[in-house]
């Protein structure tokens, strides 16, 4: 009985394709400053020009002295934080590369949920008295309904 072997040209082709993919991935990550998304620096968000207006608005808003982008837009749990950053990074880079995104940009429902949880976490003393009544009903406490412009100031 003869054991079939994989042709050498096939292995070499796969190795070359993997090398090209890996090289392109590393180049793209470095070119797009992907490493900066591992930090907590708000300026990182301006790597994408579409975020400049939001960054400028944040600098003029009341939260800029007490909260960075990550404080509001990602969970505080380290594992959930890294997952959210990876998911957001992939989704954003794909959308901006393909130019397939809503203008003006909008948060997904899952992103709004993260922001709302962080609002409640930071402002728990203020919302403590009203928060339980919303948990017992079907409607949820929605800070963004009235306070959408607090984090970034008025966005045009």
Instruction: Give me the sign of the Cα torsion angle 77, 79, 83, 89.
Output: positive
Question: Rounded to the nearest 5°, which phi and psi values hold at 33?
Answer: 55, 40
Instruction: Give me the sign of the Cα torsion angle 116, 118, 119, 124.
Output: positive
**pLDDT at residue 78, rounded to an integer:** 92
- Enumerate the domain spans of the chain: 8-147
pLDDT (tens, 9 = 90+) of the chain, 156 residues, equals: 565 688 999 999 999 999 999 999 899 888 878 888 888 888 888 887 788 888 998 998 888 899 999 999 999 999 999 999 889 888 888 888 888 888 878 888 899 999 988 998 998 888 877 765 555 545 566 788 888 888 887 655
**pLDDT at residue 34, rounded to an integer:** 81
Helix (H, G, I), strand (E, B) or coil at 140: coil
**pLDDT at residue 17, rounded to an integer:** 97
Question: Does the predicted model carry a pTM greater than 0.85?
Answer: no
Whether residue 57 contacts residue 45, with contact meaning beta carbons closer than 8 Å, is answered with no
Instruction: Let me know if domain 8-147 sits in CATH 1.10.3820.10.
Output: yes
**pLDDT at residue 83, rounded to an integer:** 92
**pLDDT at residue 155, rounded to an integer:** 57
Three state DSSP letters for 28-94: HHHHCCHHHHHCCCHHHHHHCHHHHHHHHHHHHCHHHHCCCHHHHHCCCCHHHHHHHHHHHHHHHHH
């Amino acid at each position: 009985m003869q054991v079939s072997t994989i042709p050498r040209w096939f292995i070499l082709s796969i190795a070359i394709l993997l090398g090209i993919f890996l090289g392109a991935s590393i180049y793209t990550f470095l070119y797009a400053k992907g490493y900066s998304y591992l930090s907590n620096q708000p300026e990182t968000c301006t790597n994408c020009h579409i975020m400049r207006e939001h960054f400028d608005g944040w600098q003029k808003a009341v939260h800029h002295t007490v909260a960075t982008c990550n404080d509001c837009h990602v969970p505080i749990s380290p594992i959930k934080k890294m997952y959210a950053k990876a998911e957001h990074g992939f989704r954003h880079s794909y959308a901006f590369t393909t130019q397939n995104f809503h203008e003006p940009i909008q948060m997904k429902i899952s992103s709004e949920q993260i922001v709302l949880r962080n609002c409640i976490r930071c402002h728990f003393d203020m919302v403590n008295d009203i928060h339980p009544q919303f948990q017992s009903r079907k409607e949820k406490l929605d800070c963004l309904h009235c306070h959408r412009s607090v984090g970034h100031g008025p966005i045009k």
